[in-house]
Amino acid sequence: MKIASIQITHHQLPLDPPFPAAWDTQPRHKFPATIVRVTDDEGRTGIGSGDALYGFHDYAHLFIGQDPRHLDRHATVLDNISFHAGRCWPLEIALWDLVGQIEGRPIWQMVGGTGKRIRAYASFGTHRNAGDSAAVAVTAIECGFPALKLRFGRLRLEDDLAVLAAVRRAVGERLHLLVDCNQGWRMPWDVQPPWDYARALEVAQELARYGVYWMEEPLHRADYTGMARLRGATRVKIAGGEGTREIHEFYTLLERDCLDIYQPDVAWTGGMTQLRKLAQAVVDAGCLFTPHTWGNGIGLLANMHLTAGTVGAPFLEFPWDPPLWTTARRDFMLSSPIEIDSAGTLFCSDAPGMGILLDEAILARTLSNTARYV
């Protein structure tokens, strides 16, 4: 059994109205997606998505002709590629999807089989005003979500806190509230420094007053000392790791007691092979593993299978911020969007791999680039 071809296509979904992402000073007029398809010599195709796979053309020959079932080998080579060039982990997701089809097993079973369901938290992506935030938070309760994540980072901290106060007033104790400070996140054009420890502590103390469940990325992702100090100084749980690139960095974060909540995204870092082991190490250390998923539905599915099938989590990120960020926009490449049930639960299917059905018509309409390796 051999890998016969790898196809990488890039797509741009026009966004009208544009999406004003809270973590980006520039409104987004397009939503890009990379679709990776790995086909074996018997005609089965595994699908992945995530990073753009910059630089992959130099390394495609390392996979063509290989047995797709040698997942540990592929993960090692991909880890080496991320040392030399870009992060090509969507290929690893596609390989797991392909091997699932070869073996007739869903990925949630392949990674451990612990479970196939996980509750979702509504993850906002914009800075809306206090009244609108409170209204959408009430809608989140009606939809069944057990938790909601707000974005900080408005011009003034008072404005962020006013939103948090309004949401807490509106939802009472019916939702866990999470706050993403995005201080580990940098756009290429960002030049201002992230918060320092004093600022992060000031915000943490405010969040504690509102009973916030976790504070996400309060400091730069490399400030291990600051994160560990902050964790010891506040009741609020400290979350992070979505932008951390290398798997060994997560083990250092664990050794130094930096975080309560670990959030690597399987589409960005480590792939299934490395993260299923990290998930167990995180739980063994008494912490929670619940990945970042802000991307598209394929990445969400991959993180669902990984988390539900291994250690589980109280809830998993579900990008949702209607009307500006809907499941239809997020999952445009899928034949139907991924939705929660009335209790806010996501279910992994029992179909082999991830059971992905692509919407080929919209992928054709949004295509901007194709690369194919044989």
Binding residues for Mg ion, rule: CB under 5 A, are: 180, 242
Question: Could you tell me the two tokens for 186?
Answer: 């940098």
Whole-number minimum distance, CB 217 to Mg ion, in Å?
6
Alpha-carbon distance of 206 to 211, in angstroms, equals 9
- In this complex, which beta carbon is closest to Mg ion, that of residue 98 or of residue 279? 279
- In this complex, which beta carbon is closest to Mg ion, that of residue 44 or of residue 330? 330
149 has which bridge partners? 123, 178
Alpha-carbon distance of 228 to 214, in angstroms, equals 14
- In this complex, which beta carbon is closest to Mg ion, that of residue 112 or of residue 240? 240
Whole-number minimum distance, CB 168 to Mg ion, in Å?
20
- In this complex, which beta carbon is closest to Mg ion, that of residue 151 or of residue 329? 151
Whole-number minimum distance, CB 209 to Mg ion, in Å?
22
What DSSP designation does 345 have?
E
Whole-number minimum distance, CB 180 to Mg ion, in Å?
4
- Of residues 43, 34, 48, the one with CA closest to residue 95: 48
Q: Exposure of 323 by Cβ count < 10 A (0-12 exposed, 13-18 middle, 19+ buried)?
A: exposed
Residue 268 sits at φ, ψ, to 5 deg, of: -115, -30
Whole-number minimum distance, CB 317 to Mg ion, in Å?
8
- In this complex, which beta carbon is closest to Mg ion, that of residue 59 or of residue 152? 152
Q: 89-103 and 297-309 are packed helices; what angle lies between their axes, rounded to 10 degrees?
A: 60
- In this complex, which beta carbon is closest to Mg ion, that of residue 89 or of residue 121? 121
Residue 351 sits at φ, ψ, to 5 deg, of: -65, 150
Alpha-carbon distance of 6 to 61, in angstroms, equals 10
Ranked by CB distance to Mg ion, the top (closest) residue is 180
- In this complex, which beta carbon is closest to Mg ion, that of residue 224 or of residue 268? 268
Q: Which helix (H) or strand (E) holds 216?
A: strand 214-216
- Of residues 117, 60, 123, the one with CA closest to residue 88: 60
